Structure 1
């Protein structure tokens, strides 16, 4: 339970930080000035797409929090057999980190109007995401080769479930990334391209954060951290 609360706290902190960056946390009724704005501030016109993304990421975070909660409760039963960690998961993590780095540079290029760099960064991000999905498929094959199938025991069931749902969100992110790349190649409205790139990058950063939590869960680090927290609170 402690680990779940900590995970939700991190999600809410990330969401709050992101919304404050978008200006959604501003209080216009407290701002003064000739035009109703505080000195040196501009009116906030937050696109509905950014609000929608924030709500969607909050829902996704809550979904994975429920998975983690169920994981911790189920692992307390005697029929739980911990799975070995395929080494390729570490390589997959590296490719997802490269994806986030590439998309971060894509945002910088979009804001500067550098289409060439933007296209290159979007391609690099998409390639890293595809490698991640391929690597996840190989990890599932390795786990199955060890004799751990979905119905073998609860631990393997949770492994396929959690990593599979995450992979589905990665596949969905690839569709959004493809749409953003199409806009960059067709020389769409620069403002739309920039907004699309920012939204896409925020989504992929969030998917990386979720994956790091999943990795810590599967490796047992999250459970050890929860035990330390319990000892400190006793």
Structure 2
């Protein structure tokens, strides 16, 4: 009887994850698969010929710096919530949201620069891939900015603090993922251009 009791006490707890976090991770995996497929298609199509090279817009360096800064401010927001520094949380989330919007405006201007260099969505497969990759990322970033706004509103309602971290943890995970995805895409475009 004692052996059986000892075995029961030593049983490991199953790994548990909040259902919303699990759904977020499934979504992130699906986005990774989409972009892996797109970048693979880029490489395959590039090898088939009829590929017109062009210079990447210089503003992409600026937007890459912006996304890195926004990731740093998101980390500041997360740490502020974890330590119940609510005023800092509000400032950091506001800054992250603003930087996300600046990134999107910068991406728009990268498309303006492409058009100024006669790189259009149709006619040049290299240009088509550029528009699709950056546009698809921008669509996901818009969802990230919407998520940031929701979390920012929650922070002003004092619904985010050290005892209620789930929402900001999910937002931080998604935002850092989007930043990492952009850096991957930018480096990919630099190396395969």
TM-score (norm 1): 0.75
Distance (whole Å) between structure 2 residues aligned to residue 192 and residue 60 of structure 1 = 30
What corresponds to 2:165 in structure 1?
A: 194
Residues 196, 65 of structure 1: alpha-carbon distance in 2 compared, 3 angstrom cutoff? same
Distance (whole Å) between structure 2 residues aligned to residue 126 and residue 186 of structure 1 = 17
- Cα deviation per residue 1:169-202 (whole Å; 9 max; x = unaligned)? 0000011111111110011263675211111111
Give the RMSD, CA atoms, in angstroms: 1.9
The question of 1:34 aligning with 2:9 is answered yes
Whether contact under 8 Å (2:84, 2:162) holds in the other structure is no
Distance (whole Å) between structure 2 residues aligned to residue 106 and residue 122 of structure 1 = 6
Report the secondary structure of 1:75's partner residue. Answer: helix
Aligned length: 187
Residues 33, 113 of structure 1: alpha-carbon distance in 2 compared, 3 angstrom cutoff? farther
Residues 189, 149 of structure 1: alpha-carbon distance in 2 compared, 3 angstrom cutoff? closer
Whether contact under 8 Å (2:89, 2:155) holds in the other structure is yes
Report the secondary structure of 1:84's partner residue. Answer: coil
TM-score (norm 2): 0.90
Counterpart of 1:208 (choices 175, 179, 183) is: 179
Distance (whole Å) between structure 2 residues aligned to residue 178 and residue 130 of structure 1 = 11
What corresponds to 2:127 in structure 1?
A: 156
Residues 179, 192 of structure 1: alpha-carbon distance in 2 compared, 3 angstrom cutoff? farther
> What are the ranges of 5 or more consecutive residues in structure 2 without an aligned counterpart?
1-6
